[in-house]
């Protein structure tokens, strides 16, 4: 890094300069980043309404809507300095506001060419669309919104349940915030996840964009319900001790004009770079000008809005590779050389903006959590800003799910490379925490397959009943599904993520209604009814995922530091490692069982089985006694002072893999101080 010391120092200097300007020229940093309290529509003392907008390319600005019978020029704004416009509406004679709750509004922009454009305020808090309309309406939303529950304390580690409200139901329809609150949150709690990460909350006109083509940044998507329904969801999650993260898309915006930010004031440069620099060639979307003062106001205030108004506890920042580089990562293969991350190809305005975003959130909300989605491997992404880092708390370990999919697609079981698997799981930047995952929503989308579907494919439709014998395909798929997820969970990072439904091996892919599938909702849903059916094996995978999470909650391996791998045997296909004073043993061999297999341990004592994938309740065969105890002996082995012998099974005709997790009852104390081994109970 020494050759790039100047680049790092320059980034930090630019950050300090921008922060100083905000403190000096905008009434202070805190006021600047709460501009949602002064822009858009604001209630004034006495019942009046103040409207403020930034439209530097406009010749004139007007407000129209239900309140003035849609007379487009009867309520003009007054021009102010720096492209800002203001309009005051006094209250009615009875003292009530001039614009009532749920009234429809539109801005009318008169361009410098004399054209009149109907637009939605960038600061609109609620927008809706009727079935017979192609664009959204701006709805004035101003009800009371009390909260009942405090935010939970920031968890020592994250077990994230990535979720999409609209698909969170077995029914072929768009599900609601209320459905998620009543049906999904209890499942998340039962599964042992301590955090939900909500996708597609910011309003997006195109449902099939998965929420990644945002049109209205301050509006919660109305297709799932009202803003108050979302607030109730967050409030209920907090009552269950669940942290709530928002999937935040500041890397680009929808190219929609009438209901988005694009050409808001009649120009292509209001919020975005002008010309080709402001267009993403692959996504068909607009790219923000992060060096713009008003764009900083808009985006930083947007972060605070979702924390202050809705109670979110943090953010996953989507697609920041596109922000970090002028080439947006298009056609670039990141080799890992530091020259990839420093130089003229880096967008320093965007880098500084991300530093400001993290500074804002961590300065004003010390418990706030930020996660970066970056495929490039930018060093310092999760280092403190004062060190020249960008200040994120976690980065997503994006190479891991790609590795698992590549193995399942291309490699025979007997050819799995144990060293390469462990290297992929442990190859992360030291001092920068990672969220690891075996699969996310990306792997579930149409055109790819989930792990379960790669493993079991069409047999998931016919052979998942416990009332019939397991076929070799289902047996192999069930066992590998558990092995892959526990190995990823225990070895891969400082946090763990699962996409909703994948915990129980959700069949099929994810495909939103669109012209290409006749607007069908068949694949835009999660079939929780499968796990609720007692005789289906999906319930067994669910039980294993639940007990895996509860074991982590009890013993805390994600927050315990790096694992120590003692056995990595390519021929035997065995992986053994210690983490949090627990011993993890994996046998990936497709046909060979082992008896009297010596494993190394650091801590002497008596070891008991904590989690065993061969238990019948998890879809195993019950060939290992759960109450078996293993006593270490002071025999040095594989650079550890103690060791003992174990037996574990893999049977050729069922192609069955086995793993189990051992706890040293003498040393490994759960966080509640008890020596009790976590009970693996089926619901």
Q: Which residues are catalytic?
A: 318, 373
CB atoms within 10 A of CB 650: 19
Rounded CA-CA distance 206/195 in Å is 27
Beta bridge partners of 436: 496
Q: Dihedrals φ, ψ of 532, to 5°?
A: -85, -10
> How far apart are alpha carbons 167 and 172 in whole angstroms?
9
CA distance 519 to 208: 10
Residue appearing with tokens 């319930």: 539
Q: How many helices (H) and strands (E) does the chain have?
A: 15, 29
Pairing mode of beta strands 279-280, 243-248 = unpaired
Give CA–CA dist 73/109, Å, rounded: 10
- Note whether 124 and 40 are within 8 A (CB): yes
Angle at 18 between CA 15 and CA 22, to 5 degrees: 135
CA distance 619 to 521: 31
CA distance 170 to 529: 7
Rounded Cα distance, 37 and 43, in Å: 9
Give the Cα separation of 583 and 647 in Å (integer): 14
Report the interhelical angle of 293-310 vs 227-239 (nearest 10°): 60
On the 0-12 / 13-18 / 19+ scale of CB atoms within 10 A, 523 is middle
Determine the distance from the C-alpha atom of residue 79 to the mean position of all C-alpha atoms in its chain, rounded to a whole number. Answer: 41
Q: Hey, is 183 helix, strand or coil?
A: helix
User: Who's near 37: CB < 8 A, 6+ residues apart?
Assistant: none
| SS3 call for 466 | coil
CA distance 435 to 397: 6
DSSP label of 266:
S
Q: Contact 205/136 with Cβ under 8 angstroms?
A: yes
**Cβ contacts of residue 146 below 8 Å, gap of 6+?**
none
Cα 411 from Cα 390, distance rounded (Å): 38
């Amino acid at each position: 890094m020494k050759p790039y010391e100047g680049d790092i120092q320059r980034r930090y200097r630019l950050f300090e300069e921008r922060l100083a300007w905000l403190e000096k020229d905008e009434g202070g940093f805190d006021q600047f980043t709460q501009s949602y309290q002064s822009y858009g529509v604001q209630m004034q003392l006495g019942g009046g309404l103040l409207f403020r907008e930034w439209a530097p390319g406009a010749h004139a600005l007007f407000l129209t809507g239900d309140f003035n019978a849609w007379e487009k020029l009867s309520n003009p704004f007054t021009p102010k300095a720096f492209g800002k416009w203001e309009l005051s509406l006094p209250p009615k004679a009875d003292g009530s506001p001039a614009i009532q709750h749920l009234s429809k509004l539109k801005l009318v922009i008169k361009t410098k060419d004399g054209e009149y454009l109907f637009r939605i305020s960038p600061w609109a808090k609620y927008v809706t669309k009727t079935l017979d309309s192609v664009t959204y309406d701006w709805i004035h939303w101003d009800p009371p919104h009390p909260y009942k529950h405090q935010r939970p304390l920031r968890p020592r580690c994250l077990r994230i349940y990535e979720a999409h409200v609209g698909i969170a139901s077995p029914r072929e329809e768009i599900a609601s915030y209320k459905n998620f609150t009543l049906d999904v949150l209890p499942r998340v709690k039962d599964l042992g996840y301590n955090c939900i990460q909500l996708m597609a909350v910011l309003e997006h006109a195109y449902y099939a964009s998965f929420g990644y083509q945002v049109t209205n940044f301050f509006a919660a998507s109305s297709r799932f319900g009202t803003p108050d329904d979302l607030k109730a969801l967050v409030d209920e999650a907090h009552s269950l001790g669940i942290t709530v993260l928002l999937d935040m898309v500041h890397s680009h915006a929808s190219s929609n004009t009438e209901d988005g930010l694009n050409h808001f004031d009649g120009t292509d440069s209001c919020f975005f770079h002008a010309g080709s620099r402001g267009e993403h060639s692959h996504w068909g979307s607009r790219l923000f000008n992060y060096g713009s003062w008003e764009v900083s106001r808009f985006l930083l205030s947007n972060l605070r809005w979702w924390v202050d108004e809705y109670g979110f506890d943090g953010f996953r920042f989507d697609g920041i590779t596109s922000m970090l580089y002028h080439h947006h990562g298009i056609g670039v293969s990141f080799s890992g050389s530091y020259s990839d991350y420093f130089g003229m190809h880096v967008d320093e305005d965007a880098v500084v903006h991300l530093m400001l975003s993290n500074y804002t959130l961590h300065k004003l909300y010390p418990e706030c959590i930020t996660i970066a989605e970056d495929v490039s491997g930018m060093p310092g992404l999760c280092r403190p800003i004062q060190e020249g880092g960008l200040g994120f708390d976690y980065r997503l370990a994006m190479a891991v799910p790609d590795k698992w999919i590549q193995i399942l697609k291309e490699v025979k079981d007997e050819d799995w490379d144990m060293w390469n698997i462990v290297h992929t799981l442990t190859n992360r930047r030291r001092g920068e925490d990672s969220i690891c995952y075996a699969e996310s929503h990306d792997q579930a989308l149409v055109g790819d397959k989930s792990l379960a579907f790669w493993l079991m494919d069409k047999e998931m439709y016919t052979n998942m009943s416990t009332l019939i014998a397991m076929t070799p395909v289902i047996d192999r798929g069930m066992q590998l599904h558990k092995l892959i997820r526990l190995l990823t969970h225990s070895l891969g990072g400082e946090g763990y993520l699962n996409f909703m439904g994948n915990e129980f091996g959700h069949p099929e892919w994810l495909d939103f209604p669109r012209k290409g599938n006749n607007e069908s909702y068949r694949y835009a849903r999660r079939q929780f009814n499968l796990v609720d059916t007692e005789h289906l094996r999906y319930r067994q995978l669910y039980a294993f995922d639940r007990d895996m999470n509860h074991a982590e909650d009890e013993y805390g391996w994600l927050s315990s530091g790096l694992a120590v791998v003692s056995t990595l045997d390519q021929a035997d296909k065995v992986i053994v490692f210690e983490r949090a004073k627990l011993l993890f043993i994996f046998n990936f061999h497709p046909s060979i069982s082992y008896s009297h297999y010596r494993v190394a341990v650091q801590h002497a004592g008596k070891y008991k089985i904590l989690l065993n994938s061969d238990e019948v309740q998890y879809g195993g065969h019950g060939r290992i006694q759960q109450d078996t105890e293993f006593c270490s002996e002071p025999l040095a082995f594989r650079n550890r002072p103690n060791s003992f012998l174990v037996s574990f099974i893999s049977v050729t005709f069922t192609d069955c893999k086995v793993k189990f997790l051992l706890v040293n009852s003498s040393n490994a104390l759960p966080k509640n101080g008890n020596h009790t081994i976590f009970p693996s109970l089926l619901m």
